[in-house]
Structure formats: C-alpha cells, structure tokens
Amino acid sequence: MQTPDLIAHVCAYADRQANCSQANLEFYATGLDGLSILRSRKPTMLEATLYNPLLCLILQGRKETHVGARQVSFTAGESLIVSHQLPVISRVTEATKMKPYVALVLEIDMDIVRSLYDEISTIEIEEEQARAFNVGKTDEALMDAMERFINLIDKPFEAKVMQPLVLREIHFRLLLAQHGGMLRQLLRRGSHADRIAKAIAHIKEDYATSLTVAELASIAGLSPSSFHEHFKALTATTPLQYQKELRLLKARHLLMNGTHSVSSAAFEVGYESSTQFSREYSRKFGYSPRKDLAKYTRG
C-alpha cells in the first residue's frame, strides 16, 4: 500500500468512529495492541502531556515537540521514538482541512523489546548520541510492518494470529532503526539508560514526595554528579525539574476531572504553597490553574 492509500485508509477508519470529536486533535483507538490514530485538520496550540515509551509515525503534516530545552520537529515519513516516560510539550504545526495531520502512535512494549535481546546483541550498529526521544527517517522495512499492522484493523480473524507476530517485528525494526539507539541501550542491564529508567520509575511512583538528587542517584547506582549529568543528557531536563513537570501534569489532570479545588490539587501533588503552585502552573501552561478549573467545570 502506497502512503496516499495508507492515509486514505487511516482517515476512512477515523471517519467511521462514533467518538468523532470537534477537538482540534482527534484521537482514535484502533483495537490493535497499543496502536492509535491522531488526526488534526488545523495546527494546534502547544499542549503539555506525558509520553510513555512510544513510536509516533507521521503520515502527513508536521509536528513539533519540546522536552526540557530540546526541541524537535518532524514531518511525513519521519518518526519519533521515545524510550522513557517524559513530560513534553507538543503541537501540530502543519495541517489543513484538505490535507490533515495524520499520525500513527504505537506504545512500545518494553517486555517485547527485552525479549529481542538475543537477536540484537550480536548486531553492531553505529550509535549516535542516544537520547530518550529521537527523530529520524522511517525506513521502508518499519513502514511496511506498520502498514501491515494497521491493515489488520478490518481483519479481526487474521489479527488473532498475525497481530503478535507483526508487533514483534515492529519492535525488532525499532531496535534496528538509526534513531533507536536508546532502546538498544536499554537492553544492556546496568547501562546508563537502564539506571536512569529506574530513577524515573521512582520519581513517577513518589512524585508528590520531596526527593533529592542524592537519593535518586543512589537508586540509579551512580554518583550524584554522574547521575545528574546522564539524566540531563538523556531527558534534556534535570531530575528535580522532571519531578516538577510531572507534578504539574498530575495537578492539571485533577483539575480536568473536577475532583479538586486549586489548593487541594496543589497539596495533592506535593506543593506546600498554593501561591508557588499557581505561579509555576501559569508559567508552564500559559494560564492560571483557577482559569483552567473554570474551563473544565463550566456548564
């Protein structure tokens, strides 16, 4: 299937879904393990969210993603590989009604990645400076595997047998990809990528607790200075800034659900001062938490 046909196929599926939204960025689950469709008919505003390990393959349009001080822009035929859970800010920068932004998003299954260790361990691949999120050209083999995977949407009988096989192939292709360097590093137990992943898991679990770099470094099995250096090189942010970003995203989720006031959301995620919380929330999202709460609870 050529890319124009693939785009038409993906958009036709999206059009058939009952959950069609008037939101700028449309999200559609496919029923296939970890695979979703994103579509937008116009550029979007910057939006903060939390990326789990994933592949974002753009079929049409352009997107911009910020992590810490680092910014990447990628377009049709390119893909973003995220190896660690990261708080990001992103937006669609190129999309029209006639030519919408269309992307396939696949959650990376780390169990599948690790199960491929024997197949990958003997392959020598030149490593670029690996980061937790990297953009690169999507090679033909990976594109072909993704096309075969999306084609299973309308073939439930075949999907029962073929889905796990194609999904494993996709993960294999991700490990071989030029911009899959951090995934390859994660296969090596005790690598810096593996150690930082342990620290991130701890931050995620105890994000509302006051943490120190020394404590996180101990969990990672690194000296504080080495931990700080590798954490920032991998995630483009510092450990404590990462925790703050995670707290703010969690607080916004509480406000969106309408279950908390501004002050209770602040204390829930670990802030001792609602004033400080409001200041940092406004700086990150561009408007105050009170204004955000009013927007989500209106009506």
CATH superfamily, domain at 189-299: Homeodomain-like (1.10.10.60)
Two tokens, residue 32:
């296939």
pTM as predicted: 0.89
Residues in Cβ contact with 268 at an 8 Å cutoff, skipping those fewer than 6 apart: 208, 250, 251, 254, 260
Alpha carbon distance 17, 176 (integer Å):
34
| Backbone φ and ψ of 293, nearest 5° | -60, -40
- Asked if pLDDT for residue 250 goes beyond 70, the answer is yes
Q: What is the DSSP letter of 123?
A: -
Is 60 exceeded by the pLDDT of residue 88?
A: yes
Q: For the domain 3-185, what is the CATH code? A: 2.60.120.280
Is residue 289 over pLDDT 80? yes
Helix/strand/coil for 78: strand
Average pLDDT, the chain: 90
List, for residues 34-58, the tens digit of each pLDDT value.
Answer: 999 999 999 999 888 999 999 999 9
CA angle 246, 248, 251 (to 5 degrees): 110
Integer Cα distance of 170 and 166 in angstroms:
6
Does residue 6 surpass a pLDDT of 80?
yes
Mean pLDDT of 200-215: 95
Q: How confident is the model at residue 29 (pLDDT cuts 50, 70, 90)?
A: very high
Q: Report which of residues 16 and 102 the model is more confident about.
A: 102
Q: What is the pLDDT of residues 169-178, one digit of tens each?
A: 999 999 999 8
Of 233, 286, 210, 299, which Cα lies nearest the Cα of 47?
Answer: 286
Cβ-based burial of 138 (10 A; exposed 0-12, middle 13-18, buried ≥19)? buried
pLDDT at 261 over 60: yes
Domain boundary assignment for the chain: 3-185, 189-299
Average pLDDT over residues 133-145: 95
- pLDDT of 120 above 90: no
